[in-house]
Structure 1
Amino acid sequence: MILEDAGYEVLTTRDGQTVQDMKEDLPDLLLLDIWMSGMDGAVICQYLKSQHSTKHIPIILCSANKDTQKLARSSGADDFIAKPFEMMDLVNKVEKYIN
């Protein structure tokens, strides 16, 4: 809702496999939680960054994990945001990669 209120079109899923299997209609940015249903967001990020068709998509990892920054770096994410976060911090991070 935060991003929609800021004017972004947002698609959501809780299923990590759906994100990993993207082939068409690729997003401009991915916001991945480290704890996704059935898969680890950091592992999904590593996979997407290793694929020619998806490596260009900016990925922001988010988590309440105390090692979020370390996990983001090691997985190849472009950025991270630690939970809890301020709404404007999220919007600013997204704007950084979309605009």
Structure 2
Amino acid sequence: MIYIFHLLDQPGAADLRQRVRPDHKAYLAQQAERIAFAGPLLADDGQTMVGSLLAIDFADRAAAQRWLSQEPFFMAGLYAGTAVHAFANLWPQKAGFPPT
């Protein structure tokens, strides 16, 4: 099942995000075959990262939570809030995805 991770950064944590980002990307890469989509949430300026939105296939919620508990941004204390929800993808994506 796909699980959505809605992850919001602590205010003023841009430096922490940049320092830990290489580890975060490497950790995500370990799940590359199971990622439906992933990317930063942006402020209204379209550039400032304020969180993350990830959609990853896991066997169950417990596996998704275990994965999040070891995620580098999470472990570094970047997030002010986290939410994990099961997700059913019922719409064929057309907009916002890079060409293959």
> TM-score, normalization: structure 2?
0.27
Structure ranking higher on relative contact order (CA contacts 8 Å, 6+ apart): 2
Question: 1 or 2, which has the higher helix percentage?
Answer: 1
Rg larger for: 2
Question: 1 or 2, which has the higher strand percentage?
Answer: 2
